[in-house]
């Protein structure tokens, strides 16, 4: 539970510019498509985004009601490029559960 909710205050509202900065892109994989049956969508989000910000961004951009937000940090893979070791950047993923009856079509633009 966020500190703002713990002390009885709603979290501060974020502007449309921050909403667009928080939600980077939908994650379209086989697994993310399968969890769509359970009213869940997966997004690539900003590394500094918090769960309340992600909730507000999804509700504001897609006009849906969010039930729950789960986040995870995905570690970048170590790869070799022309024999030189390198590393892909880390990124943050958010799995957003929507309320019953709400849905988002991630194939269309905002």
User: What are residue 51's DSSP bridge partners?
Assistant: none
Q: Which residue has the higher pLDDT, 12 or 35?
A: 35
User: What's the pLDDT at 77?
Assistant: 95
**pLDDT recorded at residue 19:** 93
- pTM, entire model: 0.83
Q: What are 18-69's pLDDT values in tens digits?
A: 999 999 999 999 999 999 999 999 999 999 999 999 999 999 999 999 999 9
pLDDT score at 2: 55
Q: Which of 77, 69, 110 is nearest to 93 (CA)?
A: 69
pLDDT band with cut points at 50, 70 and 90 for residue 7: low
pLDDT tens column, 83-106: 999 999 999 999 999 999 998 887
């Amino acid at each position: 539970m966020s500190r703002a909710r713990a002390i009885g205050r709603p979290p501060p509202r974020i502007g449309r510019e921050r909403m667009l900065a928080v939600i980077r892109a939908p994650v379209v994989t086989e697994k993310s498509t399968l969890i769509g049956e359970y009213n869940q969508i997966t997004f690539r989000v900003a590394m500094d985004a918090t769960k309340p910000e992600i909730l507000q961004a999804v509700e504001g951009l897609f006009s849906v009601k969010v039930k729950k937000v789960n986040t995870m940090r995905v570690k970048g893979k170590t790869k070799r490029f022309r024999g030189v070791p390198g590393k892909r950047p880390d990124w943050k993923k958010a799995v957003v559960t929507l309320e019953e009856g709400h849905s988002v079509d991630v194939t269309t633009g905002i």
